[in-house]
Amino acid sequence: MTEPMPPGGSTSGKEGGALTQEQPGVSAASTTLPLRHSLRAAAIDPKLHDITEKFTEACNALKIGQLVKDEYFTLFESIGALEIMDTKMDSGFLQPGETLDEVYDTLAPLLPEEVIGIMDQLLCYEMAWHTGYPLSQTLLTSVYIDKLLWPEPRSVEQAQFYRGYVSEERRPGLLLRVLRAYCLALVKCVDSGIAVITNRDFFEEEDICTHTYNRVLFPQVGADVFVGELEDVIQNVQECAEEYITDDLKKAMLVRLEFRKNFLAALDLECPLDQLNKHWPLMQSNLVAINVTHQLGKPVEGSFSTKIQRRLASTVPPRPIVVLEFKDAFEKLKQLCADCEEATRFTSLPQNPLEYQSFMWAFASRSPPPLTYSRSYLSNLLFHPSSDLSILLQSDLGSLVFPASVVLDPSNWALSPPQNPNLPKDKRFQLAQLINDFTERAGHAYLEFWTALGQNRCRLRRMLCHAILGFDQVQNDAYTIDEGIMALTQEMGSAPENEIMPYPLTTWSYYRKLWMMEKVVFLGFEQDIYLPDEFAAQYHFLSTIASTRSRLLTNVSTHINAKYRRLFAAEGQTLRVATLVETANYVDSLLAESIGVHELSTALAKFWMVVLYLGLLGGKKLARPFSSPELRYELRMKPFWTLQPAEVPPFEEFRRDVWSYGPYDKLTPRFLEDLQNPQAELWMELDEAVKRAKEAWAQVKRFGAKSARAEGVEESWKREIQGVLASCVALGVAVAGIKGQAPKDLGEIRVEIPKVGSGKRYREGWVVGKVCRG
Amino acid sequence: MSDQTAQPATDELHYVQYEVEKEDVYLPAIRQLISKDLSEPYSIYVYRYFLYQWGDLCYMALDSSNNLIGVVVCKLETHRSGTFRGYIAMLAVQESHRGKGIATKLVCMAIDAMTARDADEVVLETEVTNTASLKLYERLGFLRSKRLHRYYLNGNTAFRLVLYLKPGTATKRPPEVGDFGQYAQYGDAEEELRSREGIQAQTRIT
């Protein structure tokens, strides 16, 4: 607390911290206010003490502006402080003549077009909530919804636009009953939405606000009850004579009720997996009809009010109602339905973690980005109770490092330890134990990886940075387990299925880690994190990671080929041979892809290096008086500094590679000479890299989506590969525009960076400059 | 250092450090200047939170009649990650005086003061669309470290900008990691949640 209080303006802490530290008596006195729940149980018999005098006296000892707080009172908490009597902060402050509550009469009869209007207004607020605004500024501003939910009804029956007794003539007629059923179903839709989102251990409060402000949204009542309410009024409306509701209004009303019914069913968390794909397509036809009949509705602005926020359990003052235009809300709704419909395809994917991964990645890459609900919906399918993460992980291992191997033979898990502990354990049993051990150690990082794939793109990048550290530890742990596995398989004899590659688990963990590192850099370009003068450096770094990944995959490939030859020569191994061929295809596709990433990023690193030397981007050089290249390098490489083996080259080595011709602002004679000589190593290497990149990506394309384990998202996979190939071509063109030019001829040339999201990049992460004249 | 970068500011302006003793003189003007560009006002407590604890990291540009033209508000404390981290919380310049390098000068003074107090790094957030603010900090040496989706209450997305002042900052660790319990797991993510309610005061500068 700061003291003394200026007249008409005091401050208070939001909860805990400063306020209760200083005024132990106050918390009991304020429990009647609808504040958030206290962590401590309420005192049974509160004793009230008037401390005003003591408090005022104590305050006199403080200087103006002096802060009294404990060391745990953070900035976040200080932001929650309010000023009494400030209109923007004090939720109880009334302007002269202003009433505390809304005077809107929820029992006044409505016209059919008004009911339709309100339904569409509600839809706008519902979608505003889905895009991240709190309920307090959206749906809970509806006077109708407020009446239904407060005071808290004990049953659905009691949730009416009135409480207690109303005279016969005031009782709601058909139209109000229609609105009530619609509102109740809408409330349940929000409840189901929150259930799906909070069902995951980790979700983002920045994306969606799940706070219900002490309003209870019928979590205990099944969706069928609300469907029943809707069906009742649907029937009533259908039977209603035309003189009451004209035919077109009736149709408009019915399609909205039908839509709500389908939406409710689709959002239901209890919906069985095999029924999932039924509901979303049904809504498509509803949507079209809602859109064309929207103009029939007549909005009732008075039925929404910011004042309701005063009575919600929130310490923040009333904030303005969020306005989302119907056409925007409608687009969001369409997107939500399309995304969720796409997500249901997850259940019919080939059962393979790599297919899942391709699907999740493609889903997160959809444009516009899927809303939180859709992403949670998909994550719920991935983490469905019927799926087992350790099985997923073992299948992942099998797909890369243990194809057709005794190590993952399911029968290993059927064995038991010998009854006599002095007898040696079966080797297969021991193998199962080692794999179990690894599964346990890797489980956390592996879970984090899958969780990351369900986040918004910004958070995906940050969580991958964290998962990389997890996998670094896993890789470290894998080493010892690998030695155990290698020793056991060696003892088991020379049958081809006993043959394993050296350090398989280490290889797998390392492979996963490198893949994520590439994605972090790639997403950095996609999210506009890197400044133009970092492009060369970041593509150079990407090329080194990709080349390490290529080397790793080459080892895997060598092992698989050798094993294939042995298995092929042996008898009765048809099944194993088939598995191995499948893995070989996958690894070949990965290998081509890693070479593609390596070559294209090498070429881009060189291209941007030349552009930066020549200053073709225009604009002034950044002075950066407080920084140095070394410090910026350290900051940029922070997520990777501690990795083992070391992935971040020492600064000097990095400087040599990225600033081959000295600092960017000094053009050396050697650079000028190379620049004008098309045969110079610089250009030869650049052209070669572009050529090899094209070849590698063309090869990935030839191997196809099935080999890349992206069969479930073949279309978007093809688009992606096509985008990369187009980037290679564009780079070739850009290089040709600069190569061999004398600096004096470059005067008219400038290089444009296609902006993120402008549609001018073939792939967001591959930034190819456009060479322009004039 | 700051002398090299700050554009020559308008002649009659002078730059002074905030003084807690003169709260009644300075604070109302600071509040007014900062809250002008904010959709949600901060209570006086937020200002005092910074100014009472880190008044020496707050600098003001005053004209010859001592009217407040620009202000920068900061804090500096040990971060969970183990670094001694400076944070530029608020920066604002009167609209009529923008484009003259006043904000740059204020930020430079703050960074110089943090450097003198042995800070490892300086961080802040700013809206991805606030080009003037991004340019200002990037000219000084800041890099974008991450993108924060819907960071602000108005739904806008932010960049976190970071400036390292000392080598070895990336690998600094807190003395006892174990003390951070479950929060250590998600590191910065947790911090993002904590601060997202708040500081959106890198106002438009030009």
The complex's ipTM works out to 0.89
From the CA of B69, how many Å to the nearest CA of chain A?
22
As beta bridge partners, residue A750 has: A772
Residue contact B5–A623, C-beta within 8 A? yes
Question: What tens digit of pLDDT does each residue of A718-745 get?
Answer: 999 999 999 999 999 999 999 988 878 7
3-state secondary structure of B10: coil
Residue contact B40–A528, C-beta within 8 A? no
Quickly count: other Cβ atoms within 10 Å of residue B4's Cβ: 8
Question: What tens digit of pLDDT does each residue of B153-190 get?
Answer: 778 899 999 999 999 999 999 876 444 433 333 334 33
Q: For residue A507, give both structure tokens.
A: 């290889």
pLDDT, residue A116, reads 98
pLDDT, residue B176, reads 63
- Does the beta carbon of A203 lie under 8 angstroms from any beta carbon of chain B? no
A/B interface, count of CB pairs below 8 Å: 168
| Confidence band of A18 (pLDDT split at 50, 70, 90) | very low
Which of B22, B43, B196 would you mutate first to test chain A, the one with the most A CBs within 10 A? B43
Which chain B residues in 85-144 lie under 8 Å from chain A, judged by CB atoms? 108, 111, 115, 121, 128, 138-144
- Does the beta carbon of A635 lie under 8 angstroms from any beta carbon of chain B? yes
pLDDT, residue A43, reads 52
Which chain B residues in 134-193 lie under 8 Å from chain A, judged by CB atoms? 138-151, 155, 157, 159, 162-171, 186-189, 192-193
- Does the beta carbon of B25 lie under 8 angstroms from any beta carbon of chain A? no
pLDDT, residue B12, reads 85
From the CA of A666, how many Å to the nearest CA of chain B?
19
Q: How far apart are CA A488 and CA A504, in angstroms?
A: 13
Cα A621 to the center of its chain, rounded Å? 36
Question: What tens digit of pLDDT does each residue of A663-715 get?
Answer: 888 889 999 999 999 999 999 999 999 999 999 999 999 999 999 999 999 99
Q: How far apart are CA A772 and CA A752, in angstroms?
A: 7
The CA–CA distances, whole Å, from B165 to A506, B1, B108, B118 equal 37, 13, 13, 9
Counting residues of chain A whose pLDDT is more than 90, the rounded percentage is 74
From the CA of A130, how many Å to the nearest CA of chain B?
12
From the CA of A43, how many Å to the nearest CA of chain B?
29
Is pLDDT above 90 for B27? yes
Residue of B nearest to A73 (CA): B49
Among the partner residues A79, A88, A459, nearest to B46 by beta-carbon distance: A79
How deeply is A325 buried, as exposed, middle or buried, from its count of CB atoms within 10 A (0-12, 13-18, 19+)? exposed
A625 vs B contacts (CB less than 8 Å)? 1-2, 4-5, 108, 140-141
Question: What tens digit of pLDDT does each residue of B86-145 get?
Answer: 999 999 999 999 999 999 999 999 999 999 999 999 999 999 999 999 999 999 999 999
Is pLDDT above 50 for A430? yes
Q: Would you list the DSSP string of A115-144?
A: HHHHHHHHHHHHHHHHTT--GGGTGGGBHH
pLDDT, residue B202, reads 58
Is pLDDT above 80 for B8? no
Is pLDDT above 80 for A200? no
B4 vs A contacts (CB less than 8 Å)? 623, 625
Residue of A nearest to B27 (CA): A65
| Confidence band of A540 (pLDDT split at 50, 70, 90) | very high
From the CA of A417, how many Å to the nearest CA of chain B?
36
| Confidence band of A315 (pLDDT split at 50, 70, 90) | low
Q: How far apart are CA A441 and CA A433, in angstroms?
A: 12
Is pLDDT above 80 for B201? no
B168 vs A contacts (CB less than 8 Å)? 634
A624 vs B contacts (CB less than 8 Å)? 139-141
Q: How far apart are CA A197 and CA A336, in angstroms?
A: 14
Residue with tokens 């997160």: A364
The CA–CA distances, whole Å, from A656 to A13, A300, A650, A663, A720 equal 55, 68, 10, 10, 33
Question: Residue type at A535?
Answer: F
pLDDT, residue A44, reads 67
Average pLDDT over residues A589-611: 97
| Confidence band of A555 (pLDDT split at 50, 70, 90) | very high
Residue of A nearest to B75 (CA): A75
B163 vs A contacts (CB less than 8 Å)? 626-627, 635
Give me the long-range contacts of A499-504 (CB less than 8 A, separation at least 24): A499/A405, A499/A562, A499/A563, A499/A566, A500/A401, A500/A402, A500/A405, A500/A407, A500/A559, A501/A401, A501/A555, A501/A556, A501/A559, A502/A555, A503/A478, A503/A479, A504/A397, A504/A401, A504/A402, A504/A407
pLDDT, residue A15, reads 33
| Confidence band of A65 (pLDDT split at 50, 70, 90) | confident
Question: What tens digit of pLDDT does each residue of A481-512 get?
Answer: 999 999 999 999 988 888 999 999 999 999 99
A463 vs B contacts (CB less than 8 Å)? 189
Average pLDDT over residues A176-187: 98
More confident residue, A41 or A762: A762
Is pLDDT above 80 for A220? yes
Mean pLDDT of chain A: 90
Q: How far apart are CA A657 and CA A674, in angstroms?
A: 16
Which of A79, A208, A465, A526 would you mutate first to test chain B, the one with the most B CBs within 10 A? A79
**Are A186 and A235 within 8 A, CB to CB?**
no
Top-ranked range on mean pLDDT: pick from A53-57, A112-116, A563-567 = A112-116
Question: What tens digit of pLDDT does each residue of A290-307 get?
Answer: 999 999 999 999 999 988
User: First-to-last CA distance in chain B?
Assistant: 23
pLDDT, residue B145, reads 97
Q: How far apart are CA A173 and CA A299, in angstroms?
A: 19
Is pLDDT above 50 for A449? yes
Smallest CA-to-CA distance from A287 within A249, A260, A267 is with A260
From the CA of A146, how many Å to the nearest CA of chain B?
24
Is pLDDT above 70 for A76? yes
Q: How far apart are CA B146 and CA A170, in angstroms?
A: 58
pLDDT, residue B193, reads 33
Which chain A residues in 3-22 lie under 8 Å from chain B, judged by CB atoms? 6, 9, 11-13
**Are B117 and B87 within 8 A, CB to CB?**
no
